[in-house]
Structure 1
Amino acid sequence: MTRPATPLPTRRLRDLTVSALGLGCMGMSAFYGPRDQDENRRTLDRALDLGVTFYDTADMYGPHTNEELLGDWLRGKRDRVVLATKFGIVADPSAPGGRRVNGRPEYVRQAAEASLKRLQTDHIDLYYLHRVDADTPIEDTVGAMAELVQAGLVRALGLSEVHPDTLRRAHAVHPITALQSEYSLWTRDPEQGVLATCRELGVGFVPYSPLGRGFLTGQIRRPEDLAEDDFRRHNPRFQGEAFGHNLALVAAVQRLAAEKGCTPSQLALAWVLAQGEDLVPIPGTKRVKYLEDNLGALNIHLSPDELATLDAVFPLGAAQGDRYPDMRTVNR
């Protein structure tokens, strides 16, 4: 296995310096099958030992239990970590999918204070609006978020899954440090304006699910490989004909990785990292062995020819199926 170098290289998200790969913590508490708290803590400890400084969570993961996990783990380590969390998705049994988006100004402070308590910290380094509230002007939401910065509760502001026009409007109210959206070989939607707008405004870009929700690892061969309560069983890309079509794309990643002498995960992450120094992917995992494998991507250099080959196999729109069962809350 290709081993990561320590200390890890760093990248800049506007005014934050973070490890070039972060750690998405969602799967430790939600959506991706069974959870093992002991292994979660071992994974978090190993990430810090290997030089990962950027950790991503959200109040809706669990809900709340992922922030609580990180809060307990962070004791005695807070000064070594750049901590990102998100707000805005709230449970509502009467809403489609049991959730709704709340970006009302009066809710912003309430959500932040609750996250601070669960995280057992006096400040959040990067605070994201998880999704845009269609019923609240983005200027109002970001204005309330800016008050958190002025109060010293938050260092920097972020947005997730927003349209370029929304990013511009938000950035005019208060500088946006990072935009988080799904981006990988099989999800290249941000190349349709979002990445260019980030670069124009000096906003960093944080790709989540850079391994295609685990599909690009080659570990998922059939839907039955996923636990009964795994969110991906209801994801259009993991169902029916789309699953078979997308499996053929993964075969190409496996072949190219074998030729390169690395794992499929490392190849897929190396491609994301090669898209610009202003990108900081946050692959999620809840197991030490996958964490170590992912960090090995930092030692993989892709030549122009190799990048061109991957681009040819995975052009925009190559994957079949929507990213979510309901796409109305993304790119808003």
Structure 2
Amino acid sequence: MEIQSRSGSSHYPNIQLRNGHHQKPQMYTVKDTNFVRYDSLELSSVTPTRELPEDAIHHVTPHFFFNSEINASLDKVVENKSEEIKRTVYQIIEFNIFPTNMDYSDEERAALLEMGLSQADYLAEHYMSKGESSEFMKTMNLLAALSKTREVDPKTGTARYAELPQRPVGAPSDYISTKDLMKRFDPELYGKLQAELEGGGTNFASILIQFTQKAKAHPEWREQFLSEQNSRMTALENTTITNRFKGTSTANIHELVTEMKEIMEKSQFTNNDFLFNNLVNFYNSIEKIHNGL
């Protein structure tokens, strides 16, 4: 699974970043430079007409698309929350669970992930009902498990994650996209299909028909696909993530920050600025929530 984003004109990693439309899973990577590298970043050209005050510029948090079930769960939990609470939820997903900085080591990613889960737990305890809290943390833990499946192609630098079931809202649990089935059992034909899509060809429908006829002769493909899909989901749902920040006080934001800083100071990192900056951003978000901004 590759990661996508949707949020205005900026494109982030593709677990599909969504912008109102479901996009095809896709990952873009920045080539090596002397600067920080990102899994996926594309900035639109902007011609400023006037200078803006510094506090008028703020980060627009993208909403990642994972699959219909996960996103419906997130949407339900934040539906009646303030914009700042919503923004904080998606910032945890963007900066802690699926950070795009390619230069983070596995250990640094793990620390950010663990900090993000504890931040999510704080949000759940203070701003969600018991039912919302349970559903929210179940979803965040599933996303955390998904992030642990990250693999990077050494040649292209493309980051990929375990495939999640993709089906339209309301579709039966055994729904399988023809394209997904083709990708799994006839990758050569799937490559031709992708080439048609990218090149604006006219053989798209005929390729789908060709594969549909082939799949009818192999009913075992569906059974195997569903079995593999269910096994992946079971593995994700049963993933246990050891969290060095687990147990930090959630009584108030000041106690949480103080205890997290103490843990950070004992960490093995020679430079933990990346963790400190993340914690400061979370603290600032909570302050905005408290102030009703």
Length-normalised TM-score, structure 2: 0.28
Length-normalised TM-score, structure 1: 0.26
User: Larger RCO: Structure 1 or Structure 2 (Cα < 8 Å, ≥ 6 residues apart)?
Assistant: 1
More strand by share: 1
